[in-house]
Amino acid sequence: MSNGNRISTRAVPGVLLAALLAVPAMSASAEGTAEISRGQQYYEKICAKCHEAGIGPVLLGRGLPEVIFTTIPRSGLRAMPAFRVSDIDDATLQSLAKYLANSKPKP
């Protein structure tokens, strides 16, 4: 159990939101290992169904910081649903964030 603070109506800092919705930038980061992480698996199974279908913004190869990918899924954003700790635990979300932050654009 952890005790409370007030809920933020705008959990996502404006600067992060602006970065996410901006025109994709090329990623300078290299993809790490060939092994598929739990985060990548989650992305491909769930997130890609919107974010590679023209519904949510493209996430791969944007060079966005990990914090975006650990913050926005938890709060949801506009049409995007929130993902609870029971949907994706902190470790998997961190792995997902690492994967996306270091991803290359899709060819």
Partner 1 sequence: MASKYLALPKGVSEARFDAAIKKFTAALGKDNVLTSGEHLQPYTKVMMAVETEKHIPSAIVMATTVEQVQAVVKICNEYKIPVWTISTGRNFGYGSAAPVERGQIVLDLRKMNKIIHIDPELCTALVEPGVTYQQLYDYIEDNKLPLMLSFSAPSAIAGPVGNTMDRGVGYTPYGEHFLMQCGMEVVLANGDVYRTGMGGVKGDKAWQVFKWGYGPTLDGMFTQSNYGICTKMGFWLMPKPPVFKPFEIKFDNEADISEIVEMLRPLRIAQIIPNAVVIAGTLWEAATCNTRRSDYITTPGHTPDHIVKQIQKDKHLGAWNVYAALYGSPEQVEVNWKIVTETIKKAGKGRIVTQEEAGDTQPFKYRAQLMSGVPNLQEFGLYNWRGGGGSMWFAPVSQARGSECDKQVKLAKTILNKHGLDYVGEFIVGWRDMHHVIDVLFDRSSEEETKRANACFAELLDEFEKEGYAVYRVNTAFQERVANSYGPVKRKLEKTIKRALDPNGILAPGKSGIRI
Q: Which spans of this chain sit near partner 1 (rule: CB under 8 A)? A: 1-9, 11, 45-46, 49-50, 53-56, 74-87
Pick 83 or 99: Cβ nearer partner 1: 83
| Sign (positive or negative) of CA dihedral 65, 71, 74, 80 | negative
Pick 58 or 102: Cβ nearer partner 1: 58
26 is catalytic: no
**Least Å from the CB of residue 91 to partner 1:** 12
11 is catalytic: no
Question: What is the C-alpha to C-alpha distance for residues 72 and 80, in angstroms, rounded to an integer?
Answer: 9
**Least Å from the CB of residue 70 to partner 1:** 11
**Least Å from the CB of residue 27 to partner 1:** 24
Question: What is the C-alpha to C-alpha distance for residues 30 and 102, in angstroms, rounded to an integer?
Answer: 6
Which residues are the active-site residues? 79-80
